[in-house]
Amino acid sequence: MRHSAPDSRDVPADSGRLFATIVALWPYIWPSDRADLKARVVWALVLLLGAKLATILMPFTFKWATDALTETGAPAGTATTLGWVLAAPIALTVAYGGSRILMAVLTQARDGVFAKVAMHAVRRLAILTFEHMHKLSLRFHLERKTGGLTRVLERGRNGIETIVRMVLLQLVPTIVEFALIIGVLLWQFDWRYVVTIVVTVVLYMAYTYVATEWRIGIRRKMNDSDTEANTKAIDSLLNYETVKYFSAEQREAQRYDRSMARYEDASVKAYTSLAVLNAGQAAIFSIGLTVVMAMCAIGVKNGTHTIGDFVMINAMMIQLYQPLNFMGMVYREIKQAIIDIEQMFRILKRETEIADAPGAAPLTVPAGTIRFEDVRFSYDPDRPILQGLSFEVPAGRTVAIVGPSGAGKSTISRLLYRFYDVTGGRITIDGQDVRAVTQASLREKIGMVPQDTVLFNDTIRYNIRYGRWEATDAEVEEAAKLAQIDGFIRMAPKGYETEVGERGLKLSGGEKQRVAIARTILKGPPILLLDEATSALDSHTEKEIQDALQLVSKNRTTLVIAHRLSTIVAADEIIVLDKGRIVERGTHAALLAAGGLYASMWNRQREAEEAREKLAQTGEGEAGSPDAPNRNPPAPGEAEGDDHPDAPAPRPADRAEAAA
- The mean pLDDT of 409-415, rounded to a whole number, is 85
- The mean pLDDT of 230-248, rounded to a whole number, is 81
More confident residue, 640 or 210: 210
- The mean pLDDT of 553-569, rounded to a whole number, is 83
Contacts 24+ apart (CB under 8 A), 322-327: 323/173, 323/174, 323/177, 323/178, 323/181, 324/174, 324/178, 324/201, 324/204, 324/285, 325/281, 325/285, 326/170, 326/171, 326/173, 326/174, 327/171, 327/174, 327/178, 327/204, 327/205, 327/208
Give the separation between CA 568 and CA 327, rounded to whole angstroms: 71
- The mean pLDDT of 293-297, rounded to a whole number, is 87
Q: Which fold has domain 370-445+528-658?
A: Rossmann fold (3.40.50)
pLDDT at 300 over 60: yes
Torsion of CA 203, 207, 209, 215, to 10 degrees: -170
pLDDT digits (tens, 9 = 90+) for 611-638: 777 776 775 444 444 444 333 333 333 3
Write the class of the CATH domain 10-349: mainly alpha
pLDDT at 574 over 70: yes
- Tell me whether the CATH fold assigned to 370-445+528-658 matches the one assigned to 453-524: yes
pLDDT digits (tens, 9 = 90+) for 355-398: 788 888 899 988 889 999 999 988 877 788 888 889 999 988 88
pLDDT at 89 over 80: no
CATH code, 453-524: 3.40.50.300
- What residue ranges do the domains of the chain occupy? 10-349, 370-445+528-658, 453-524
Q: Which candidate, 575, 30, 117, 66, places its Cα nearest to that of 310?
A: 66
pLDDT at 540 over 70: no
More confident residue, 143 or 275: 275
pLDDT digits (tens, 9 = 90+) for 4-57: 444 433 444 344 456 666 776 777 777 777 888 888 888 888 888 888 888 888
